[in-house]
Amino acid sequence: MYIGDTIARLGDGNGLYPTAAHLHFEMRRNNSLTLGKDPYYNPLSITDALKYSSPSLFIDDRNRMGTLSLTHGSWSVFPAPEHAPSSTAFIEYSGIRHSLSKASNLQWIYQYVYVWQNNRWESFSDITQVWFEKDRWYAVYGFVDGATLNILFPGNNYQKDRALIDMVRTLATNINPANPQFTTIQPEYTTTQEDANFVYYNMPFVYNDGNGNKSGYVWQATQKSLPMIRWESCDNPTGQPLGWRRIDINVLD
């Protein structure tokens, strides 16, 4: 599937919904849930929440793109036009698209990348770990003729959706009971606060450690000036609260 492809058509169900035409669009990372199960039940388990993606967020993160033609046998030098992760960037060659990692393995591009910083070129051994910073210069080496580097620019228009996904992942990483289904979240009770620099989100959760339910909160902070910079923290019912930790800027849904 490519940008611009038709994925559905909106209609009235052959007259069944003459005044309520709508399209239900859902994205899943894992399709193990049966169609007969209501995916939005309350309380929602973390394991089930992790199976869903936010369609609006996913599309918004991939809605705009910059393209650079790579030169065969030499370094292509360019400034990043916007902030963007390398995790969603891809190489297109002979009508085939591959992630930077796969393109490097196929020797379409060199795995190393050069970044201009501190008034000199600095090499990084893995292009898939690089964050493309607006107006900073980069150099990518091409091994084939006619390849293009395509960088997708996040729109950052659905920050609450990103915060919810971040918070679910924070819990899945830090709260790991023997029976994960006993860990439930309540996204409908998510609240926000803000100061001059950050928007703060918090969501309640319930954790069963085998001795009864315990409740707590998980937090996410989104930087206003560059929303891809986020921080995570959560209560730890089995010990001390976890401190603030920065989320990998390259991690998108």
Q: Are 60 and 36 in contact (CB under 8 A)?
A: no
Q: Render pLDDT for 22-73 as a digit per residue (tens, 0 to 9).
A: 777 788 887 776 655 555 566 788 888 888 889 999 999 998 999 999 999 9
pLDDT at 140: 97
**Across 14-19, average pLDDT:** 77
- Ordered DSSP codes for the chain: --TT--------TTTTSTT-------EES---S-TTS-TT-SSEEHHHHTTEE-HHHHHHTTSEEEEEEPPBTSEEEEE-SS-EESSS-EEEETTEEEEHHHHHHTTSB-S-EEEEETTEEEEES-GGG-EE-TT-EEEEEB-STT-EEEEEE-----HHHHHHHHHHHHHHHH---SSGGG-EE-GGG-EEEE-SSEEEEEEEEEEE-SSSEEEEEEEEEEESSSTT-EEEEE--TTSSPP--EEPPTT---
Convert 120-143 to b/e letters by CB count within 10 Å (16 or more is b): eeeeeeebbebbbbeeeebbbbbb
Nearest to 56 by CA among 195, 159, 143, 128: 159
Q: Render pLDDT for 88-127 as a digit per residue (tens, 0 to 9).
A: 999 999 999 999 999 999 999 999 999 999 999 999 999 9
pLDDT at 12: 75
pLDDT at 33: 65
Decide which of 229 and 27 is more confident.
229
pLDDT at 131 over 70: yes
pLDDT at 176: 63
pLDDT at 46: 83
Decide which of 235 and 102 is more confident.
102
pTM: 0.84
Report the percent of the chain where pLDDT is more than 90.
Answer: 62
pLDDT at 213: 78
pLDDT at 252 over 90: no
Q: Render pLDDT for 177-224 as a digit per residue (tens, 0 to 9).
A: 555 556 788 888 999 999 999 999 999 988 877 677 788 899 999 999
pLDDT at 45: 80
